[in-house]
Structure 1
Amino acid sequence: MLDFLEAIGIEADENFILAPNEQNMSLDVGSAFVLNVMDAFFSDQEERDDLVDLLLCHIARDGPDEKYFLNESSVDLIRRHFEISNARVLQDFVETDPGRDTLFAYKKSTWTAAADLSALGARKLGFLSGKNGYRSWRGQALASGELQVIASPVLGWSTPEPEGLWTRGELSHLRFRLCPTRVSIHARRLVLRLEGHYFANNESSRVLVPGQVERRLELNGQAIEIPLDTFDDYGCIDICLGHDSPTTPKSLGMNNDERELAYFLRGASYTVEP
């Protein structure tokens, strides 16, 4: 719109409001349907932006379902509405190739309505349900109950305590997704930092990042560098933590707690770097 105003010599005044860049996006019909349904349930703009990011990744990875919102009858109606004014513009202001008598492209893709809106939306929701194990995380510091964003009880972690949460058993997983459309093209790696302490005879963890050699690290501020090409096309990653000697407090005579504990996670954050 600003380019158009500049072309005809008009400057936008102070009342001209620009929409946020995040909303100026190219979504398909199914994605727009899902957003229209979900808009009433977002508690803030960031939640909506995270969903938009995932939908855009889906379009980039698998292609759009129905890209165009106008059907042929709507396009014909628009052509007729502007026919007279466009003819005047064409006559007085525009040089065109011989034989061309319209400003409109002669053939433009339109919405075929091969599937109805509810069917398109259902397919999108099916895709989204397959990604619900990976919650979007922008790297902000997590603590206490917030750690469940990346450390779910179903992934080898205990329920949160006021200061953080314990691992349970021999394996625990950290799962999350960054937002690929928000990552700089110059970024090459994600640097993950975990703060915590170990229990009983445990002193370090085996860290396995997809596609990488297993490393042994002491997870108390030591950085875990993860190449961005390790993340999948949707920005998702699953990091496995292995624990050598999970121990129950009960076996040490401390209390009646029978959980097999190894590492207590107090905090997590990350940065994306060149």
Structure 2
Amino acid sequence: IYDQDNMWALMDSQNYAQGTKQYWQTLQKHYQYFWQHNIPVDIISPQTDLSAYKLIIDPMHFLMSTAFMTKLDQYIKSGGVVVGTYISGIVNELGLAYLGGWPQMLQQLYGVQIEETDTLYPKQTNQIFFEGQSYLVKDYCTRINSTGAKVLATYKKDFYADTPAVTENHYGKGQTYYLACRTDLDFLTTFYDKLTSRFKLAETLPLQADSSDVSIQIRENKQTTYIFVLNFDESEHMLTLSLPLVNMLTNQKEQGEVRLESYGIRVYQINK
């Protein structure tokens, strides 16, 4: 979810540290995992119909209307999966703070209650413990209590040591995950690996690349699937095609091991 109104409200807010809010960069970091793993992602707004998506990622949704909360509620009850984060649901669409703590609807969706957010100094860090491994935390650590959610990770130090940092909640037919702190890509990679496997987010493609520097993206209509292959590296890489595919740039069929030159491009066509 990308919300321009939310971005402006968050930037203008005098809460939190001005230099580390980084709303757009945070979205990019979550997106990076899926780009590197060739999983198609749409950048959508709060007005978009959510029903077509297996997973909704909603980072730092500071300005959140009750209408959008209701939309999330319906989506999750119907079987959807949502990942939310720290600094979400703080003010309404008019920029007015929700009174009485975190909105009840969000508490029900995520199964947690928020107490406060600790804004760290630039050189200050913490750690979380997740599935036997420690991961660096920086910038923001929200202190939460579970009111029904399963605790997946806990903080390792400070006055909120051993309290929940990452949670999972079953709600209706769906599930929610709450990331209470800002992590680096190493944690997000481990976390989204779990979700990708659990909810079968990755598509089975008829070709593979030997490097994450090669992006494989799909666009399709009712008749045809188009596979765009882009090498973002100055070195050449190899593609492995498991079946004959038509290279639309040359109108030739290719199969097996295919060399993709530096900054090279392929567009393959598959008729359904």
TM-score range, shorter chain: under 0.3
Q: Which has the higher helix share?
A: 1
- Based on CA coordinates, which of the two structures has the bigger radius of gyration? 1
Higher relative CO (Cα under 8 Å, sequence separation at least 6) belongs to 1
Q: Provide the TM-score with structure 1 as the length reference.
A: 0.22
Q: Provide the TM-score with structure 2 as the length reference.
A: 0.22
